A and B are shown apart, each in its own frame.
Chain A
């Protein structure tokens, strides 16, 4: 690996970034993969039981009818959002440092959104008729209810997932060609020839490719903001105390970037250390991500405050009751855990030395992830448990199957991440070369 101070060469960059593809996996990777795959089995088991036995295997009830599945769905969607924000928005702003982290965050987007997509499908109760959500001609001449933000969400998720996948794949094509031309094993040559689509890298190819790649950033950015705003609107248009707030769309977008960036640390820090990528995912990269995390965290802190202020200012007894109950009720532990995890650890990031310490960043990332999951749990479960009607106030508890789908979703996510690091370069080879080698001479390089 290239931890030495002398400048990197193109060959060395290719060597470093394709090594995991051409070498056999180590013990750490195998251990991690088997563990993650094993945990993801819990998700499949729980879903199998649910399909046979029905939705009653989960802890939801008539009052708290949106529980773990929808909360976890929003959590994973948020993780996906940050990946696109890092990749697309930083590209639009011509931030060269994105090249070190954009591939990993794009992968995070793809894997998070496919897990997120599972949860609404589970939540419908009868997943075998989920295709009814898709507007299509039918014998009854009936269409889905387009006045409902839930239908908007179907459009948003479908569009965003498709766009993210093609954006991710387009970015990989030149790198797949590099791998193809280095592969010596026949099966690898064949596989990467298919994936590279015959990429040759002529000046004409790059001319069209760069336009298309930049356009994806323009397309993905409104799509991702629109998608998470839609999810927030889905809650905000209801009358449930704790949901009925106009601040929800920007709150959800900021929270999503916050939680997703935290997940980026959870992925990037071990990846950088174990795959020896310090020359590509540098302390500077991590520090800039940490600044973004801190900024988003402060926005989230402001919104937490504003939620309470709005509840008080609204003079609505139910809003006031809801938020007072969150602070002091029997489930206040989940509120205080969320507040602690989301607001306290990020204060460490005011200090430059801590922003450059990968152990601190990993720990902060983990804690913020815990906090952000509890934020969604609180929004879902606590709001519904303590609604408008005191006669409806009830309890909500996870069943073992709730724990299984929650843990299994994390297992599935990390299984996909671990597979990804073995089949594709985790840092964009072409972009890093353009930045590190071409960028030295052309500060205004369009791709850098």
Chain B
């Protein structure tokens, strides 16, 4: 299932990519607990400022390609050499050179399928409705979600922090939205 948003959180919205990027970096620098950034399009450098490690999908695909090639080679040996050996005039009627193309194609197909499945797994993609932070977060606005967590990260302090970082819109969500303010 997709990762749920924090039950109580404050969301800030930006239209400008650079201001949003700076706010994300500042949230990480301020050691905010698990800030979540949403972008309607891929933003260069966002993964770095959010502290994401390089994706592991590349390694998964490499393993899949090797396994696909090994599996196909095993199949050819099994079907052409062991299970159904043909002997023509004292010579075996197979040549490993002829296996190269199907092995390549099968290996790449395995890589492609694992690439898709790994992406679905890593992005937690499953068919069905998503808990969308805001309809505009897939359209024209960037969003940073900060969890309300005790006194240090109270609703008011997070609202203030987001406004200080030039958020164009700040919304309080969850139970925090109905609590009386302490300001």
Name A's B-contacting residues (CB within 8 A).
9-11, 14, 135, 141-143, 146-147, 149, 151-152, 155-156, 158-160, 162-163, 166-167, 169-170, 173-174, 177-178, 180-182, 193-194, 196-212, 215-216, 219-220, 222-223, 226-227, 230, 429-431, 433-434, 437-438, 441-442, 444-448
With A and B bound together, what is the CA distance between A205 and B45 in angstroms? 14
Do residues A155 and B115 form an inter-chain contact, with CB atoms below 8 A?
A: no
Do residues B138 and A199 form an inter-chain contact, with CB atoms below 8 A?
A: yes
How far in angstroms is the closest Cβ of chain A from B130? 4
Contact of A178 among B2, B40, B58, B61 (CB under 8 A): B40
How far in angstroms is the closest Cβ of chain B from A263? 24
Do residues B138 and A197 form an inter-chain contact, with CB atoms below 8 A?
A: no
With A and B bound together, what is the CA distance between A146 and B140 in angstroms? 53
Going nearest first, the 9 A-B pairs with the smallest beta carbon separation are A10-B140, A212-B119, A197-B125, A211-B55, A208-B122, A198-B130, A159-B109, A181-B135, A433-B41
* With A198-B129, A219-B115: A152-B52 Cβ-Cβ less than 8 Å: no
Is B167 an interface residue, CB under 8 A from the partner?
no
With A and B bound together, what is the CA distance between A158 and B133 in angstroms? 39
Q: Offer 14 A-B interface pairs, CB within 8 angstroms, sorted by A.
A: A14-B140, A147-B95, A174-B138, A177-B138, A182-B139, A200-B38, A201-B137, A208-B122, A216-B112, A230-B101, A430-B42, A434-B41, A437-B17, A437-B41
With A and B bound together, what is the CA distance between A373 and B137 in angstroms? 46
Contact of A216 among B38, B52, B115 (CB under 8 A): B115
How far in angstroms is the closest Cβ of chain A from B128? 6
CB-CB < 8 A to B122: which residues of A? 204, 208, 212
CB-CB < 8 A to A200: which residues of B? 2, 38, 130-133, 137-138
Do residues A215 and B57 form an inter-chain contact, with CB atoms below 8 A?
A: yes
With A and B bound together, what is the CA distance between A355 and B101 in angstroms? 39
CB-CB < 8 A to B57: which residues of A? 208, 211-212, 215
Among B38, B46, B80, B115, residue most surrounded by chain A Cβ atoms (within 10 Å): B115
Do residues B138 and A178 form an inter-chain contact, with CB atoms below 8 A?
A: yes
With A and B bound together, what is the CA distance between A208 and B120 in angstroms? 9
How far in angstroms is the closest Cβ of chain A from B138? 5
How far in angstroms is the closest Cβ of chain B from A2? 14
With A and B bound together, what is the CA distance between A442 and B46 in angstroms? 12
With A and B bound together, what is the CA distance between A227 and B52 in angstroms? 37
How far in angstroms is the closest Cβ of chain B from A432? 8
Do residues A215 and B61 form an inter-chain contact, with CB atoms below 8 A?
A: yes
Known: A9-B140, A152-B102, A173-B125. 6 other contacts (CB 8 A): A141-B84, A152-B105, A177-B138, A203-B38, A207-B54, A210-B55
Do residues A203 and B83 form an inter-chain contact, with CB atoms below 8 A?
A: no
Instruction: Categorize the interface residue count of chain B.
Output: 35 or more
CB-CB < 8 A to B15: which residues of A? 10
With A and B bound together, what is the CA distance between A204 and B48 in angstroms? 10
How far in angstroms is the closest Cβ of chain B from A202? 6
Contact of B139 among A178, A208, A216, A434 (CB under 8 A): A178
CB-CB < 8 A to B42: which residues of A? 206, 209-210, 430, 434, 438, 445-447
CB-CB < 8 A to A151: which residues of B? 102
CB-CB < 8 A to A230: which residues of B? 101
Do residues B104 and A222 form an inter-chain contact, with CB atoms below 8 A?
A: yes
With A and B bound together, what is the CA distance between A230 and B132 in angstroms? 46
Residues 90-109 of B, flagged 1 when their CB comes within 8 A of A and 0 if not, give 00001100110110111011
CB-CB < 8 A to A149: which residues of B? 101
How far in angstroms is the closest Cβ of chain B from A211? 4
* With A146-B76, A204-B52: A209-B105 Cβ-Cβ less than 8 Å: no
Do residues B55 and A208 form an inter-chain contact, with CB atoms below 8 A?
A: yes
Q: Smallest CB-CB separation from A12: which chain B residue?
A: B140
* With A194-B128, A219-B115: A438-B36 Cβ-Cβ less than 8 Å: no
With A and B bound together, what is the CA distance between A146 and B133 in angstroms? 53
With A and B bound together, what is the CA distance between A277 and B64 in angstroms? 40
Do residues B101 and A155 form an inter-chain contact, with CB atoms below 8 A?
A: yes
Is B47 an interface residue, CB under 8 A from the partner?
yes
Contact of B135 among A182, A197, A223, A444 (CB under 8 A): A182
Do residues A147 and B98 form an inter-chain contact, with CB atoms below 8 A?
A: yes
Q: Smallest CB-CB separation from B72: which chain A residue?
A: A155
Q: Smallest CB-CB separation from B18: which chain A residue?
A: A441
Is B31 an interface residue, CB under 8 A from the partner?
no
Do residues B108 and A159 form an inter-chain contact, with CB atoms below 8 A?
A: yes
CB-CB < 8 A to A438: which residues of B? 17, 41-44
How far in angstroms is the closest Cβ of chain B from A362? 31
CB-CB < 8 A to A10: which residues of B? 15, 40-41, 139-141
* With A200-B130, A201-B39, A223-B105: A166-B140 Cβ-Cβ less than 8 Å: no
CB-CB < 8 A to B125: which residues of A? 173, 197-199
CB-CB < 8 A to B3: which residues of A? 202
CB-CB < 8 A to A433: which residues of B? 40-41
CB-CB < 8 A to A222: which residues of B? 104, 108
With A and B bound together, what is the CA distance between A274 and B179 in angstroms? 53
Residues 54-93 of B, flagged 1 when their CB comes within 8 A of A and 0 if not, give 1101100100000000000001100110011000000000
Q: Smallest CB-CB separation from A230: which chain B residue?
A: B101
With A and B bound together, what is the CA distance between A201 and B141 in angstroms? 11
* With A147-B95, A203-B37, A230-B101: A158-B109 Cβ-Cβ less than 8 Å: yes
